[in-house]
Structure 1
């Protein structure tokens, strides 16, 4: 059984350095993430449509550079690419802190999107290089919990600190966000400087390097990528768009309840991640995905039920319950999907595999809010919930299909030992 102590002692020293700083690295992002659109609209005076477009630049740029980032990581290593991304992030945050016109804000958000596009891919490649097997799955899960802890604490601090009547408070949080990116930069230049995520181009390799076309010909890659896209579409793609809109317009709850629901989400992930890891270690990852799909389906039904009793205490409790149950499902998704991608990959193509994962993530996160807006703008509240539940069923079906196409070790269980031949 996994415990925090045994997990920590199993990690290489580089893995300990990286994991111990995750919450501090993401604290700055938590300070700014919930308040960037408020800053653009209410502090800098851009209209809401323009502010929404500027915010979308982050995801658009991240999606556009996913494929080239994976190729660069496989060729030059994650460390070099991540350092470039971190420099872009620092410059972007500083520019945004002082952006008084839309052009400067747009340039800043493009630079931030550039970092988003390489950071997921690069750090996943480093993690997969440092740890293997069950430990890799556990690491992804614990890392996810710590990312949420940093963002959650940052959001709480930011909520108490920022004031739209005092623009300097927003300037301060963006500068802090820039400063927190010096932490991973110091790690990459120090303790992680010898971590090599790519194969030696001049050495002979048993496994040939794979291009994107070759990777995407693998049926198991297509199935897990489609599963990732659907999970992001009905999951994270709704967290900043569909869920808040439904909770306000249909459930009739206050903005304070919506804000507190995100705190519930963070708390559930941080408190339950290790417990969930104990139960899923050694289990088929595709079966865990099916359970996650069931949990998410229940969560969306809970949210749908809040629309039957709008503007009530029951609706407020239901919204909080939705986020708690949804978070429980997240603790099963995040350790498994990245582990499958990285167990399918070789060191010579790890960047490309993680780039495909990132592209599916970004694609779902971009299209999710668009679909939610179309459904809710046309008063199709029941259709919105039905779409989310059908998406959960689709994840379960995709997980069944994926299980038939991946090897047991990629699915999180050891290969069965061959039966002993009878003695002659």
Structure 2
């Protein structure tokens, strides 16, 4: 007799471990990009920004390609291709990390990593032993835990030389490559079975009427939220320094962010069933907290207000980001679930790419005050649009949540 667990294409432990491994590996590299290009390779900050933008663009390509190949080709070969590209890129970085080798390999790394991240989220749609929302929540937790591990280790290893950073990243991706080779082989069979069922069964899940509009609306929320979020990675640090706060004080805010995610995410996962039943409310509250976090920064001069803003932002992040994947998964047809998970990741990458640029343009032509008002306004506006679409769908009785 088959159990639900035996129906899973891979063991959940290896899905979550894979997410932890690759996010630890990538976090050895991305936090150092601006510092390395500017301080080690002696290029301008503008050049560093362009490199980051191109990297995000190719990550978007990887996200979209990974989702499409997951649905239309073979999931196993898709993830294996992505992690192989990333592994080869980090290996080459060990030996070639000058200019222009570094930015070129950073681009190929983004392409491969984008395919893998989308692949892991797409696997969640094939899991039978747990609700997809539970899997998305844990994937989000392992993603952030990996970023915490990697970022902490970089501080200890960097003094010994940048080569060791790239070597560790290569070891992590190579290890995941081995995991995929031996533990992810069941993906193709499970995916093929699902596709066959979608062709033969009259009861196969089809997208709800109005799903396209609802998905577009939630993706607008994601894009707006990431444009706002990226200000913390770029422009807010400069703002804090202008107020005579230290770099250490700024970095401690990210420590607060990590602590809140690692401690609160498992708590939310425990109430996954209830939160799934109230998915719309979870998204409304989460994204609204994003917008409110930037209102706190208006006129902020004391460190406590920056900490309050970061805490508010993080709670909004925990509530909203994992729930987006669940919302989209529930509304995508069986044959397109991977594609839509790729679109979610692509929109995330787009927000990361455009966020610093938009923020810099606003600051250059106005002020930080206008930036904070803009970030709050665009996120709240996106939530209103999302709520409006949902109200229309509800009035037509096409949306069960």
TM-score bracket for the superposition, by shorter chain length = 0.7 to 0.9
Residue in 1 that maps onto 2:247: 255
Q: CA–CA distance in 2 between the matches of 1:187 and 1:131? A: 21
Task: Pick one of 358, 361, 364 that aligns with 2:348.
Answer: 361
User: 1:141: which partner in 2?
Assistant: 137
Q: Which position in structure 1 is the counterpart of 2:77?
A: 80
Q: Deviations over 1:340-375 (max 9, x none)?
A: 111222332122111221222122222211110011
Which digits, 9 at most, give the CA deviation of each residue in 1:184-242, with x for residues without a partner? 323322222102364467773448999xxxx999222222222222222222x323223
CA distance in 1, matches of 2:108, 2:80: 13
Aligned to 2:334, the other structure's residue is in SS state: coil
Distance of 2:386 and 2:191 partners within structure 1 = 29
Closer/same/farther in 2, CA of residues 283 and 108 from structure 1, 3 Å limit: same
Residue equivalent to 1:245: 238
The answer to whether the 8 Å contact 1:95/1:105 transfers is no
Alpha-carbon shift at residue 48 of structure 1 (Å): 2.8
Is residue 2:278 matched to residue 1:321? no
What is the aligned partner in structure 1 of residue 331 from structure 2?
344
The 3-state SS of whatever aligns with 2:183 is coil
Alpha-carbon distance in 2 for matches of 1:338, 1:363: 16
- Matched position secondary structure for 1:253: coil
Structure-to-structure mapping, 1:258-337, within 5 angstroms:
258-277=250-269, 278=271, 281-306=275-300, 309=301, 315-337=302-324
Rounded to whole Å, the distance in 2 between the matches of 1:229 and 1:131 is 30
Task: Give the conservation status (yes or no) of the 8 Å contact 1:37–1:51.
Answer: yes
Q: Which runs of 5+ in 2 are unaligned?
A: none
State how far apart, in whole Å, the 2-side matches of 1:11 and 1:146 are.
23
Q: How far apart, in 2, do the equivalents of 1:24 and 1:409 lie? A: 43
In 2, Cα distance between equivalents of 1:10 and 1:323:
42
Match of residue 420 from structure 1 = none
Equivalent residues of 1:88, 1:115 under 8 A apart = yes
Alignment check: 8 A CA contact 1:301 1:385 kept: yes
Question: CA separation of 1:87/1:209 partners in 2, compared to 1, >3 Å: closer, same or farther?
Answer: farther
Change (3 A) 1:338 1:151: same
Residues in 2 aligned to 1:287 and 1:57: alpha-carbon distance in whole angstroms? 35
| Deviation, structure 1 residue 72 | 1.6
In structure 2, relative to structure 1, the CA distance for the partners of 1:225 and 1:333 (3 Å cut) is same
Tell me the CA shift for residue 123 of structure 1: 0.9
Quick one: which of 93, 101, 104 aligns to 1:104? 101
Cα deviations across residues 84-143 of structure 1 (Å, max 9, x unaligned)? 11111112222333335423123201211112321222111111111487x221221222
Cα distance in 1 for partners of 2:210, 2:47 equals 36
Q: TM-score of the superposition, structure 2-length normalised?
A: 0.86
Distance 2:336 2:279 in 1: 22
Whole-Å Cα distance in 1 between the matches of residues 65 and 150 of structure 2? 31
Whether contact under 8 Å (2:118, 2:338) holds in the other structure is yes
1:339–1:132: structure 2 CA closer, same or farther, 3 Å change rule?
farther
Q: CA deviation at 1:271?
A: 0.4
- Structure with the bigger percentage of helix: 2
Tell me how many residue pairs correspond in the alignment. Answer: 387
Kindly indicate whether residue 368 of structure 2 is the aligned counterpart of residue 381 of structure 1.
yes
**Of 148, 152, 158, which aligns to 1:152?**
148
Aligned with 2:177 (options 174, 185, 203): 185
Equivalent residue for 1:3? Answer: none
Unmatched segments (≥5 aa) in structure 1: 1-8, 310-314, 414-424
Once the two structures are TM-superposed, the CA of residue 82 in structure 1 deviates from its matched residue by 1.4
* Equivalent pair of 1:341/1:354 in contact (CA under 8 Å): yes
Cα offset, 1:80, TM superposition = 1.0
Aligned partner of 2:221 in structure 1 is: 227
The offset of 1:270, in angstroms, is 0.6
How big is the shift at 1:252?
3.6
Q: Given the two structures, how large is their TM-score scaled by the length of structure 1? A: 0.81
How large is the Cα RMSD of the aligned pairs? 3.2
The SS at the match of 1:31 is coil
| 1:218 alignment partner, SS class | helix
